[in-house]
Each structure stands twice: as structure tokens, then as C-alpha cells.
A and B are shown apart, each in its own frame.
Chain A
Amino acid sequence: MTAPEKTVTPETGTESAPSRTGVLREKLQQFLAFASLIALVIFFSLANPNFMSWSNVSGILLSTAVIGILALGTTFVIISGGIDLSLGTGMTLAAVTTGTFLSVMGLPLVVGVVGGILTGALMGLVNGFNIAVLKIPPFIATLAMMLIAQGLALVISGAAPIYFSGVEGFNLIALGRSVPFLALPNGVFILFGMAAIAAVLLSKSIIGRYTFAMGSNEEATSISGINVRRWKMTVYTLSGAFTGVAGVVLASRLNSAQPALGLGYELEAIAAVVIGGTSLAGGKGSIVGTLIGALIMSVLTNGLRIMSIPQEWQTVVVGIVILIAVYADNLRRSKEQ
């Protein structure tokens, strides 16, 4: 540092960076989530040797894909200080759109896929508009969208599943094995690919930066000259696009668009985000955390099933895990104050 030849001594200026503790704390949270994941894996593989079989691992990863992709998108929304309840049925509507384009209208594969993704993005845009411009609280705005999407999915599909049996190659999107050397279904690679995109967007891009800024202090962000309305709409649209991708992946995996499926996925996705250490109060969170959170959710479900624990009890356990995760979030926040 070059010494300024001014009269005022540069002595005061309060040295040092206390950043490290904060970073450490955040890392600790991620580490805790990661450690719980490992603990679960060890526990279940001891309980049942089949747990670590390649086919089961591959199954767990594939079943993480849909929830995981939903959770990635909604991580942005939650960090920005919002919430999105329309993920689950929105995903269904996207799947139904894809089904209509491909099976009913016989349009090319690409059109169906892009159509599904855009349907999700459009819903996100409407959510964003309602929240940022009409100032409807996120909870209510997306609750309404949840119902609208659910209804529309039933209307468009005539309340019956749309099958993709006639669409060649559609089920390969999620189930094909296009990556050489790694015997995993494509759905898994889509998840990790989307996670990579989300991670880069969140930590390096301008969208990510403003997502954190808004969740951290919306008023300050606005006063700094950032167009909060526009960026909020962008965040919800981005999350909607992820919802659309999840819809396409789900449809491909089931080789059908099930209009009655989807409700409840939003809560699992939000749970994954929270378990991964993203604060529901906004301003804090990470993609790696969300990915770990989503894995914890599916390892838990899979492990309990493999241990022959009845479906009903699995649901109870997941509920308890969510409570623990949110309580941990509270503890962390109260400690910070």
C-alpha cells in the first residue's frame, strides 16, 4: 500500500476482515448438511447392503432429478426473499403442454421440449409480475398460481394422462444413457448440468448478485438504483424455466404427462432448499446446499423404503426432517443477531 502524503493519519480505518467467520459459519452449515447426507448413506448401507448397489444408487439419483431441478430454481426465489408454491402444479402444466404439443398435435420433439420449458417460464413471469408490480405477497400470488396451473393442466388434458408412446425418443430424454462410460440415465446428467448452470448464475452473474441484494435488503437495493421490479420478475421467470425443465424430465421419465400429479412437489422442493441451508428470510443460500438438500430428501425416502418402512411413516419422517432443518435455520439466524 502506498503511503499517502496527506496530513490525516491513515491509522484509524479499522483493520482486518471479519469476513472469515461469516464464511466459515456458512461453510459449516453446508458441511453439516453434507455430513448428515453421508451419515444417512452409511446408516442405510449398514441397514441394507442393497442400498449401495449401483442400480439403487442410480435410482436414487434419477429420483432426485425432478425435485432437484425444481429446488434449484426456487433457490433463487427464496434467496431473493420470496417463496414459490406454484412449482409442483406448474411442473404438471409444463408436462401437459409438452404432451399436447407432441402427442396430440404431433409437433417436432424440440418444439415440445422448448414449449414445456417456456410454459414454466411464462408462469414464472406472471408470478413475478403479480408480486413485483401488483405487490401481491409471494405466498398468495403463487398459491393462486398453484391452483390456476392445476386447473389448467386438467382442462387441457381433459383430466386424463397424455401418453408419449407414439413419440419416438421422448423417454430417452430422462432415461436414455447417452453419456459413455458412466452407466447413469440422462436425467441425472440433466440435474447436474442444471445445477452447474444455476451455480454459475447464482455466484457469478448479475442475476445472482441482485438476487442476493434483494433478499438482503430490498429497500437498500432499490435506493442503490437497481430496478427491483424488473429483477424480481427475472428471478421468478428463471425459477419458472427450471420448473418447465422439471416438467419435461418428469414426463419423459413416466413417458406420460399425469395431470393429477404434481401437487406437493413444491413443498418437497422448498424443504430441499431449506435443508441445504438457504435462509427463508432471504439473502443467504447456495446451489451446492440445495443439491445436498435434494439428495438428503431422496436418500431418506429411498432408504426408508428399502428398509420396508411403510409409505405412511416415510411421510412422517420427511415432515420431522423439515422441522429439524427449519429449526436449525432459526438457530443460525438468532445466533447472528
Chain B
Amino acid sequence: MSSMRAPSSSSPGGQPSRPLLQIEGMSKGFPGVQALDDVRLDLYPGEVHALVGENGAGKSTLMKILSGIYERDSGTMLLDGSEITVDGPLAAQRLGISIIHQELHLMPDLTVAENIFIGRETRRGLGLFVDDRALNRRTEELFEDLRIHLDPRALVGNLKVAQQQLVEIAKALSFNARVLIMDEPTAALTEQETEILFGLIRDFKARNTGIIYISHRMEELKAISDRITVLRDGTYVDTLDTEEAEVGQVISLMVGRHIEGETRPTTVADDPTPVLEVKGLSTRSLLRDVSFELRRGEILGFAGLMGAGRTEVARAICGADRITSGEMFVNGELVSIKAPSDAAKLRIGYLSEDRKRFGLMLDQDVKFNIVISSLGEFTNRFGFVRDGAASEVSEQYVRSMKIKTPSIRKSAKNLSGGNQQKIVVAKWLLRDCDILIFDEPTRGIDVGAKEEIYELLTDLATAGKSIMMISSELPEVLRLSHRIVVMSEGRVTGVLDNAEADQETLMSYATHIDSAGSLA
């Protein structure tokens, strides 16, 4: 398909030229996580160097350091052999480092031309005024060069996402950068548009621009990259020549061989009755024809990459997002869920990945948080809360779920992440929920407490609750789920029994490749 040749030997003599960019020993920590640990990467002129890894592997962090958005803790960056410091986006621009961000960083109320040349406007009148005519002309020239067909005067907020992506790309390219970073640039593009982008990338290669290309799509890496560097958990794993690399090999480097799910649940719970059936669920933005069933006493894992649509499925089921088509059955009955309160009536509880924002009232005490959703049951006929009864029930849950708190009067914010999670669960259990949707139940929870959460989920399932568990950590999915739904780009790409699943298979489905092809 592509006519790509020779990776690092792009210079005429076949001898590798001096690296354009060299990153050594790069480390960056955030409170609670070491996002990058001693990572290295080199980039040659005219090279497309792919950077891959699972969610949280550190790709975006590395690129944000390179483009001056984050500050590194340690490590060196050499551009053309001389050390550089990138302290801010402006510094990156001056050094000729340009980035296409994964999330769009555009100003919707400005026009296309204004967005592209923001900070670099053609000025007139003592530099006080913007020469919009010149700006539009420059944009037209740029678009002609890049073969993009967009009106420079259009408001960005009125464009489709793919068009906005093109604006973002054009903006990055307009710097005539020597190092061009693309963070999942094709996420919103159609195949045709992707082909155009690849054409542009080849043009830039020919001009000796070095390109760092981040993508989850293995086919793309084969088509466009010269070398592939794999990161995992913030560390450097390996760098491969694309020509010699096998997709399966790359994927196993990405997921690693660690913790090959020691304890796995015995396959499917005995009772195959579906508690929740979802058929052909679609939403306006992302989901397309999502179908699956959740059985009694089952933990159904949801695997996929970021943006695959897992959280969106949960939100749609809970009535937080509107669905455009599809049907849902709870205990065999067709239901219509239009708002979160409908879901609660059907005994569906959603535990958000962002506990602190959506799950808990941090400043309130444990008791308050447990009973808040069921206050009606603890109110006398004059509308006053029966404090004694509320305390009693809260004490019960603290005991039965082993919530570690000195008293039910303690503020939720003083508890560990694991115990906070338990409070949220208690809240939903008190409402008699039969279906519990956990979105990243162990995010931000330290390793020890994770075990407790795993135990909790397993106990809940054993007690007959049905659980949907969304998780980006494959070992976690494999360890807990009876069955696993894998999603990619808003669609279900596979439903597997635990016995037939392993990390490589899941990753293949998540990256949209059937496992047979990838291992060939």
C-alpha cells in the first residue's frame, strides 16, 4: 500500500544521519503516579517515528513535555545535538516543535484563519490591528498547499469534528516545524481524509521534517511509520523497525507479560437469565449499534481504549445521554430510560469513574453519603430525618462492607479511595440496586485497596447482583469478569468468555483487528 522505505537511513549515503531530536532519561511524576520513568526516544530527519502504548503508558505526557505544556522532572532533550529547554508553548514554536493535540485545542468562536494564525497575526496600524484580509489570504495559500478545502472565514464552532481536526492539523503544519508531533491525528478522520493526511506526512518527510506519530491503529503504523517505540506504564520498552515488526509482537510489548491473570472467575454464573439486554443502542455522537446482555450474578467486563465508548454506553443506559435508536430490556421487559431517575427506579446504579465529582459529597460525613439517595425512607411524616434509623443503617453497612472509618461522623474526604468507593456502593445497595455499573472502579486507588475492591465486586456478584465493569486495565478485566465486551470506536468488536480471552486478544479487538490476522 505505502511506498515507505528505509527507516533511519533516510540520508543519502545510507548512513544514519545525526538524530534531529534525542530524548534521554525523561521522567515526570504527578501526585500518586510516575507518568514517565527514564524514557528515551530519538528521531531522525525525514523519519516517521510511531509511539505506541496502552492508555496511561505515558505517550501524551512525553509529548506534552516536548511541546512545553508540562515541565520535566529530569532528563535531557537534544535538538540537532544541542540541549534545549522547552518552557512553554511559545518556546516550542520558536524551536520548531509543533504538536497536533489529541483533544482539539481550538477556539470555537473564532474563524478558521483566526485559529490557525492566533499569536502570529498579520498586523497593521502600528501592530495594534489585525489584517484579516491578509490572514485569510495566508490561510488560503496554506490550504492550497495542504490540499484542504475549507473556508478560512468559517467559524470553527460550526465545523464538523473532522473539519476541526483538519484545522488543527493545518495549524500545526503552518509553523513549518522541524519536529511535528501528531497525537492520534486520525481519531476523527474518515479513511479518505486519513489518506490525505498520509499524503501530507509523506510531503513533510520529503522535506526532512521529523514526525512523531502516536496512534492506536496498528494498520496505520504499518502504512506510515519507519520505526515504532513502545512505552508501558511510563517506561521505555523497545524500539522496532516497522518493516520487521509484527503487529502481534507490538501488541505483546504494549501489554507486557506481567500478571497473567492468576485467579480467574469460573466461567459464567449458573443462571443465564439476562437481567439487562441492550439491543442496537446508538447515540448521536459516538455509539453505533451496541448490543449485549448482562446476566444475573455476573461481572461483565468492558474493555477498550480511551474514547472507545464504554463510558458512553453506561451513560446511555443510565439516561444521562440521549439515545437515537436501540432498545433496552430489564428483566425481560422493554424499558424507556430518559433520565437518571428512571434508571434508579429500575434499580440500576452507576458508579462514576470520577467519584469525587459525581459520586460523593466529600465534605459530608459517611452517614450523610450513605443515606442521601434514600432519604425518603428515613423521613417521618413531617419531613424530618429520623437520625437514629439513618445512623443504625449506616453502621450496618460500615460493618458489613468493612468500611474503615473511625466513625460514621467522619467526613468522606478523610477516607482512603478504596473506602470512599465502598461508601458509594453502600449508597446504591441501600436503594436495592440489582444492576451496578462500575466505571473504572479502581482508578486512583492504591494497589492494596484494589484487592479490597476486587473482593467487593466478587462478593456482590456472588450475592446475585449483576455488574458491568468498565476498566482500562486489562489484567483487572481478565481477573474479575465472567465475560468481556470489547469496544472500539463506538462499536462492540467482540464479546468473549473469560476462558478464551487474554490480553493480546483483547488488545486486538480493542484496536480493531481480528486476532487471526494479527498473529499471521
Contact = CB atoms under 8 A, between A and B. Distances in A.
Nearest to B132: A204
Contacts of B196: 8, 10, 12-13
A225 B89 contact: yes
A217 B149 contact: no
B199 interface: yes
B400 interface: no
A6 B199 contact: yes
B356 interface: no
A222 B158 contact: no
A336 B108 CA distance: 11
B119 interface: yes
21 contacts: A11-B192, A12-B193, A14-B149, A14-B150, A14-B160, A18-B154, A21-B158, A23-B155, A204-B130, A206-B121, A206-B127, A206-B128, A206-B129, A207-B128, A212-B107, A213-B107, A217-B107, A221-B118, A223-B105, A224-B119, A226-B119
B88 interface: yes
B123 interface: yes
B148 interface: yes
A222 B89 contact: yes
B82 interface: no
A7 interface: yes
A17 B118 contact: no
A2 interface: yes
Contacts, number: 121
B78 interface: no
B90 interface: yes
Max chain B Cβ within 10 angstroms of own Cβ: one of A15, A220, A221, A227: A220
A7 B2 CA distance: 13
A22 B110 CA distance: 11
B163 interface: yes
Contact of A205 (B128, B150, B163): B128
B105 A224 contact: yes
A4 B158 CA distance: 28
Contacts of B119: 224-226
A16 interface: yes
B401 interface: no
Interface in A216-237: 216-217, 219-227
Given A216-B110, A225-B89, A16 B151 contact: yes
Contacts of B148: 13
B147 A4 contact: yes
Interface string A68-105: 00000000000000000000000000000000000000
Max chain B Cβ within 10 angstroms of own Cβ: one of A7, A204, A284: A204
Contacts of B108: 216-217, 283
A219 B159 CA distance: 20
B162 A14 contact: yes
B481 interface: no
Please tell me the size bucket of the interface on A: 35 or more
Nearest to B104: A220
Given A14-B160, A209-B130, A226-B118, A19 B105 contact: no
A18 B108 CA distance: 13
B199 A284 contact: no
A80 B95 CA distance: 30
Max chain A Cβ within 10 angstroms of own Cβ: one of B90, B111, B129, B153: B129
Contacts of A11: 192
B106 interface: yes
A15 B155 contact: no
Given A8-B195, A204-B130, A205-B128, A223 B106 contact: no
A1 interface: yes
A303 interface: no
B75 interface: no
Contacts of A8: 147, 195-196, 199
A5 to B, nearest CB: 11
Contacts of B154: 17-19
B93 A225 contact: yes
B101 A223 contact: yes
A206 B192 CA distance: 37
B129 A204 contact: yes
Max chain B Cβ within 10 angstroms of own Cβ: one of A1, A2, A7, A206: A206
Given A12-B190, A206-B127, A223-B69, A216 B107 contact: yes
Interface string B425-469: 000000000000000000000000000000000000000000000
Given A205-B129, A206-B127, 13 more contacts: A8-B196, A12-B195, A12-B196, A13-B193, A14-B149, A18-B154, A22-B157, A204-B129, A206-B129, A212-B107, A212-B110, A216-B157, A221-B107
